[in-house]
Amino acid sequence: MILYGIKNCDTVKKARRWLEANGVAFQFHDVRDDGIDEQTIQFWLQSVNWETLLNKRSTTWRQVDQIQRDTINRENAIKLMLASPSIIKRPVLVKNNTILVGFNEDHYKSLLLKGSI
């Protein structure tokens, strides 16, 4: 299982603390320090919509040229995520073929803890 994010992101910190507190083994991949490749993003997009993955509430998004924001589509979003990984909504948790975007304790419980709903 891999948790993708940025180490100083508060939401990523919450997810990491939750995983550690619940004894869930995971590998952390910092998308800013370690980078991200198109193959990984394409894999995520098999399960989640590009609009879910693109963080339009981020500081990085606000810095994107208005014309580019107005004409964003799947292809352009992928290029943008590759060029500026901090624009990816975080964290992205990958367990086998299941992708969770953002941190939601209930979703983590249902995916990762036996006996949970």
Give the residue numbers marked as catalytic. Answer: 9
CA distances from 48 to 4, 45, 60, 101 (A): 15, 5, 21, 8
Closest CA to 56 of 30, 82, 81: 81
Q: Are 5 and 15 in contact (CB under 8 A)?
A: yes
